[in-house]
Chains A and B, each alone.
Chain A
Amino acid sequence: MSVTPDSLTTSPASQSNSLVRRFSLTAFKEAIIKGLLFGCAFLSIFTTIAIIWVLLTNTLSFFEDVSLAEFLGDTRWTPQFEGEQKHFGIWPLITGTFLVAIIAASIGLPLGLLSAIYLSEYASPKMRNIAKPILEILAGIPTVVFGYFALVFVTPFVLRPILQTMLGFEVGIYNALSAGIVVGIMIVPTVCSLSEDALRVVPNGLREAAYALGSTKLDVSVRVVVPAALSGIIASFLLAFSRAVGETMAVTIAAGQQPVLNINPLQSVETMTAFIVNISLGDTPAGSIEYKSLYAVAFTLFALTLTMNIISQWVMRRYREEYQ
């Protein structure tokens, strides 16, 4: 639509000084766009609520058959067995999940933080421009690839030669360690980019003040910048940890499906996510108690990761306030 000078001068709207709103095509379009945008926003909120509702109702119906005491008190998880042998104690899945997540965290968090310190404090702008896209590529690799990498490379070519052949520990083909290692690598980009943001917003004046007191670059980074960005770094750790807890494909492939209470990282474990995948893929009849146990596990997982996300958001908000 072109606006000619003519249309500007002759249109009554532009001449009148009245502020009363009239119906116009523009206003109509505005209304439609506003409605569409609201619809989109509402859709995602609605989906979230719907998911929580489905989770909650199915979980409640699971607890009609299985007591909460058994769920939280038993140490056996054997939904596939019959009769007396059937147990629904969540602990094997929780320990499996956290075993993998803790291994991942002990690899991914330091690695991510160190690379963040390097990028923010040491790297030249040129180096940073090369390194950051590489990290983003790492973040873009499908997790199933990481799973196969653990299964066909890390276990047979790294863990077995070192731990089994050289040191004599037995390493299962499915094991928590290989899964933890690849999940650790997976969370490096998350930790690195969030921590780097936190480090970069530390005011330059603090760095200069530290240099002026006779600091080396290492003193400045480790004693001033990192402590000043600590809450942001902790938030990135929590977020990355909750990602490791929720990670599905890689652990399903690499850690196996052994729901036993076991903290030996060289043996197979089953994480909560891996169990959910198993039930979803298997021929478990809908409505059966095994099927409903999926929801109870999913709800536990949801509650755990939600708690961690809320804590990390809270920490992050606090730290933003510090410098404003």
Chain B
Amino acid sequence: MTLNSSPQPETPSVPTPGPNNDSPDMNTANKSGVVPKLRPTDEQPPTTALGQFAKLFQNSRNEPGVPNPDQAPKIEAQDLCFFYGEKQALFNVTIKVPPRSVTAFIGPSGCGKSTFLRTLNRMNDIIEGTRLAGKALFDGQDIYAPNVDVVQLRKKVGMVFQKSTPFPKSIFDNVAYGPMIAGQRNRRVLGEIVETCLKRAALWNEVKDRLAESALALSGGQQQRLCIARSLATNPDVLLMDEPASALDPASTARIEDLIFELKQNYTIVIVTHNMQQAARVSDFTAFFFEGRLIEIGETQTLFTRPKEKKTEDYITGRFG
């Protein structure tokens, strides 16, 4: 089976917003509908809660390079619903992710961000008793079609987890794992792949003299970058990252964010994060999930400074979640 990119004939526009938000049972404060003013702070420009984000974008590096959303989407979901047994975790999620962009998923804990991310490389298949309705497409191909080779799909759609998961093997063998199970036996080729991927993951200089040592001896931040390098080694198109920096110190987090910015040149990245600043810093598009629904998606700057939905605003200004 093939999962090669096939150009899409139609040209979808900006990522389509999810179903409109009209669920009545939002138990947040402020039912008046008036955009609330926060207590004025010492800093001058931010007069509203959203102002804090406006500042973030003043020297944002994202601005000039916002990917063209008119391209054929790399990943697309259509009316995707997901069930853990009887419990429905996702409700009619419709989304388009353009290639070579960074899309951030935000939303309160338990809203289904990880679940949705995991539907995109079929990681949820491993969990027994789960069920999916609707469609998920990779390069226009239905990834849940019966003839899809899941192993091949997962090579094209890599994943980095919240907790770094280095295999108890050497640094070299960790990165070489993907190519090795794909049948690559040539040590020289493997060595080149390992070097390229470690360089891309900004880890090469730190580990180039100790490739034979156990990966478990690396620091948390190094382990996470190793896991990113390991994902890159299967030569994916898409990198799904589930809170990749949440267990890391600020310095390591900054390195991972730099890395995401670098990787954007070649990969489509979807990142789940609880950190609004992080979403604002690294992403081109941001999607806000709430209770299993996609509430709003848009260009990150727009979403953070002029959210369309009240719930989005409440969430990003920290009023709940």
Which residues of chain B come closer than 8 Å to A223, judged between CB atoms?
A: 177, 180-181
Contact call A213/B165, Cβ cutoff below 8 A:
no
Please provide the chain B residues from 236 to 253 with a CB less than 8 Å away from any CB of chain A in the complex. none
Give complex CA distance A213, B177 in Å: 8
Please provide the chain B residues from 215 to 259 with a CB less than 8 Å away from any CB of chain A in the complex. 216, 227, 230-231, 234
Stretch of A140-148, A214-222, A309-317 lying at the B interface: A214-222
> Pick the contact of B181 from A209, A212, A214, A227 — CB < 8 Å?
A214
A63 to chain B, nearest CB (A): 47
Which residues of chain B come closer than 8 Å to A206, judged between CB atoms?
A: 165, 167
Contact call A205/B154, Cβ cutoff below 8 A:
no
Contact call B227/A209, Cβ cutoff below 8 A:
yes
How does the 8 Å CB contact mask read for A193-228 relative to B, with 1 for contact and 0 for none?
000000000010111111111111001000110011
Asked if A209 meets B151 with Cβ closer than 8 Å, knowing A214-B234, A215-B181, A219-B181, the reply is no
Contact call A213/B230, Cβ cutoff below 8 A:
yes
Contact call B177/A212, Cβ cutoff below 8 A:
no
Stretch of B156-164, B283-291, B302-310 lying at the A interface: B156-164
Contact call A212/B168, Cβ cutoff below 8 A:
no
B152 at the interface (CB under 8 A from A): yes
Give complex CA distance A223, B182 in Å: 13
Please provide the chain B residues from 174 to 190 with a CB less than 8 Å away from any CB of chain A in the complex. 177-178, 180-182
Asked if A214 meets B161 with Cβ closer than 8 Å, knowing A223-B181, A322-B168, the reply is no
How does the 8 Å CB contact mask read for A13-37 relative to B, with 1 for contact and 0 for none?
0000000000000000000000000
Query: How many of chain B's residues have a CB under 8 angstroms from any CB in A?
Result: 25
B148 at the interface (CB under 8 A from A): no
> Pick the contact of B123 from A203, A212, A227, A228 — CB < 8 Å?
A212
Q: A206: nearest residue on chain B (CB-CB)?
A: B165
Give complex CA distance A156, B151 in Å: 49
> Pick the contact of A205 from B161, B182, B230, B234 — CB < 8 Å?
B161
A90 to chain B, nearest CB (A): 41
Please provide the chain B residues from 124 to 155 with a CB less than 8 Å away from any CB of chain A in the complex. 126, 151-152, 154-155
Give complex CA distance A212, B182 in Å: 13
Give complex CA distance A215, B181 in Å: 7
B121 at the interface (CB under 8 A from A): yes
Q: B240: nearest residue on chain A (CB-CB)?
A: A212
A113 to chain B, nearest CB (A): 18
Which residues of chain A come closer than 8 Å to B163, judged between CB atoms?
A: 205
Give complex CA distance A214, B154 in Å: 5
Which residues of chain B come closer than 8 Å to A207, judged between CB atoms?
A: 126
Which residues of chain B come closer than 8 Å to A203, judged between CB atoms?
A: 165
Give complex CA distance A215, B154 in Å: 8
Give complex CA distance A219, B151 in Å: 11
| Contacts between chains A and B (CB distance < 8 A), count | 62
Please provide the chain A residues from 167 to 207 with a CB less than 8 Å away from any CB of chain B in the complex. 203, 205-207
Give complex CA distance A223, B174 in Å: 11
A198 to chain B, nearest CB (A): 13
> Pick the contact of B167 from A209, A212, A214 — CB < 8 Å?
A209
Asked if A227 meets B155 with Cβ closer than 8 Å, knowing A209-B227, A213-B231, A214-B181, the reply is no
B174 to chain A, nearest CB (A): 10
> Pick the contact of A214 from B165, B182, B227 — CB < 8 Å?
B182
Which residues of chain B come closer than 8 Å to A215, judged between CB atoms?
A: 151, 181
Which residues of chain B come closer than 8 Å to A205, judged between CB atoms?
A: 161, 163, 165
> Pick the contact of A213 from B126, B169, B216, B234 — CB < 8 Å?
B234
> Pick the contact of B161 from A208, A219, A228, A322 — CB < 8 Å?
A208
Contact call A212/B169, Cβ cutoff below 8 A:
no
Q: B182: nearest residue on chain A (CB-CB)?
A: A214
Contact call A213/B154, Cβ cutoff below 8 A:
yes
Which residues of chain A come closer than 8 Å to B152, judged between CB atoms?
A: 214
Give complex CA distance A322, B214 in Å: 12
Which residues of chain A come closer than 8 Å to B158, judged between CB atoms?
A: 212-213
Q: B162: nearest residue on chain A (CB-CB)?
A: A205
B255 to chain A, nearest CB (A): 20
Contact call B181/A213, Cβ cutoff below 8 A:
yes
Q: Which residues of B contact A (CB under 8 A)?
A: 121, 123, 126, 151-152, 154-155, 158-159, 161, 163, 165, 167-169, 177-178, 180-182, 216, 227, 230-231, 234
5 A-B residue pairs with CB within 8 Å: A208-B123, A208-B165, A212-B159, A213-B158, A227-B169
Q: Which residues of A contact B (CB under 8 A)?
A: 203, 205-216, 219, 223-224, 227-228, 322
